[in-house]
């Protein structure tokens, strides 16, 4: 049975949940992860775009719980790799360490100015079948020559942000929550919820 004072985030990633809880701190209701909600299902993300994958996850979890769902899909797009790994970023290699090693291997010897990349995030606020909204966010940067920093997950340690002369994983959480792709998408989602008075 659904609980109107709860929103389930379509992730079991604890690092992502920490970021999302902070980004949605203005919403006066309980924010739950799939783990918090006791959902262990593996959802196959077989869409052809970030928005399709976000919607697939939201629909699957809504069918289980009946709750309002917030899902997202994100990826790293590297110009020198024709936009890869893109929507397949999470499946680029077996785990984070291997994904980073594979990426740096593919870009080995490429000069810094040719290593331009961006993080892309599409968040989905899902109310029920046929009722949902998408929110987008991107951040531009470059791929560094080696991992640096521990304040992040995924490709954060090799995503260099020129404005700060640091990788995403070296930035403070406050700065990440202002500039990251996920921050931009979820900030727009947060503002939409508050503006629409969805919880009144």
On whether the CB atoms of residues 158 and 146 are closer than 8 A, the answer is yes
Tell me: pLDDT of 2 over 50: no
**78 or 174, greater pLDDT:** 78
How far is Cα 160 from Cα 170, in angstroms, rounded to an integer? 9
Task: Please report where in the chains the tokens 């987008």 appear, as a residue.
Answer: 136
Mean pLDDT of the residues in the chain: 91
Q: Over range 123-141, report the average pLDDT.
A: 94
13 is a domain residue = yes
The pLDDT, as a whole number, for residue 3 is 42
Q: Over range 98-121, report the average pLDDT.
A: 97
CATH number at residue 127: 3.90.950.10
How does DSSP classify residue 116?
Answer: E
179 is a domain residue = yes
- Return the percentage of the chain with pLDDT > 90, whole number: 68
**193 or 136, greater pLDDT:** 136
Q: What is the 3-state secondary structure (H, E, C) of 80-108?
A: HHCCCEHHHHHHCCCCHHHHHHHHHHHCC
The pLDDT, as a whole number, for residue 198 is 61
73 annotated active-site: yes
1 is a domain residue = no
The pLDDT, as a whole number, for residue 1 is 36
As for how many domains the chain has, the answer is: 1
43 is a domain residue = yes
Q: Over range 44-51, report the average pLDDT.
A: 92
- What 3-state class would DSSP assign to 149? coil
Q: Over range 171-185, report the average pLDDT.
A: 92
CA atoms within 13 A on the CB side of 110: 19
How far is Cα 137 from Cα 181, in angstroms, rounded to an integer? 4
How far is Cα 178 from Cα 83, in angstroms, rounded to an integer? 24
Q: Active site residue: 72, 73, 79, 108, which one? A: 73
How far is Cα 71 from Cα 54, in angstroms, rounded to an integer? 5
pTM, to two decimals: 0.89
Q: Over range 136-148, report the average pLDDT.
A: 97
The residue segments making up the domain with residue 156 are 6-196
Of 100, 98, 94, nearest to 156 (Cα)? Answer: 100
The pLDDT-based confidence of 200 (bands split at 50, 70, 90) is: very low
- pLDDT, one tens digit per residue, over 57-77 is 999 999 999 999 999 999 999
Of 68, 47, 82, nearest to 124 (Cα)? Answer: 68
- pLDDT, one tens digit per residue, over 79-102 is 999 999 999 998 899 899 999 999
186: enclosing H helix or E strand: helix 181-196
């Amino acid at each position: 049975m659904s609980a109107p004072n709860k929103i389930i985030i379509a992730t079991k990633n604890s690092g992502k949940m920490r970021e999302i809880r902070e980004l949605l701190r203005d919403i006066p209701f309980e924010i739950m992860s799939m783990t918090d909600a006791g959902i262990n299902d593996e959802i196959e993300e077989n869409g052809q775009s970030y928005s399709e994958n976000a919607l697939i996850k939201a629909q699957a979890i809504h069918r289980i719980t009946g709750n309002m769902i917030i899902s997202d899909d994100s990826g790293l797009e590297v110009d020198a790799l024709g936009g890869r790994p893109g929507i397949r970023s999470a499946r680029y290699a077996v785990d984070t360490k291997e994904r980073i090693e594979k990426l740096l291997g593919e870009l080995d010897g490429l000069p810094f100015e040719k290593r331009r990349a961006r993080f892309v995030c599409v968040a989905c606020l899902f109310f029920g079948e046929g009722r949902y909204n998408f929110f987008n966010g991107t951040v531009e940067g470059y791929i560094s020559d080696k991992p640096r920093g521990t304040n992040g997950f995924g490709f954060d340690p090799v995503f260099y942000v020129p404005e700060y002369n640091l990788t995403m994983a070296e930035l403070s959480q406050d700065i990440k929550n202002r500039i990251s792709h996920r921050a931009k998408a979820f900030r727009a989602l947060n503002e939409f919820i508050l503006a629409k008075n969805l919880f009144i």
